Amino acid sequence: MTSEHDVPVDELERFGAYAREAGELAATLHVRAAERMGLSPTDGKCLDLAARAEGPVTAGRIAELSGLSTGAVTGVIDRLERAGYVRRVRDPHDRRKVLVEVVPGDEDRFTQLFEGSRRTLREVLSRFSPDERAVLERYHRELVEAFRQRVAGG
């Protein structure tokens, strides 16, 4: 995709460095939250993916979103189920399919772990005007979509 605006190399390097550091810090926060829940980082990430889905989700969808094989996801679901975070349910439209749903009420168990991050986000965003936040939101939305396409393309 071509843009009408050239990005100077030094800006590209700075933004790249910020993105790497933000990714590393986010990964550290997720690892710590998973540990506090008694989960591995991978299990914690899959639980987060299931929790953000709108309703029950297939193991295949968790595999697709996480980049894990379906076999690996089966093991993750087994562990999450034993820990009481998810349960397997039948698809109401196709009884042959099994879906994974987060146990009702458990969202509160793990959303509390990220309340500090939410406060920090609120604090930082409050330093920007609504117009600046709109630009930041557009940047993040477009960056996430570009990375989704890159991940999906292999």
Architecture of domain 9-152: Orthogonal Bundle (1.10)
**Contact (Cβ atoms closer than 8 angstroms) between residue 56 and residue 97:** no
**Model confidence pLDDT, tens digit, residues 60-88:** 999 998 989 999 999 999 999 999 999 99
| pLDDT tens, residue by residue, 92-123 | 888 888 899 998 875 666 677 778 888 999 99
> 99, 83, 28, 49: which is closest to 20 by C-alpha?
28
Total-model pTM: 0.76
Q: Which residues are CB-neighbours of 109 under 8 A, at least 6 positions away?
A: 37, 85
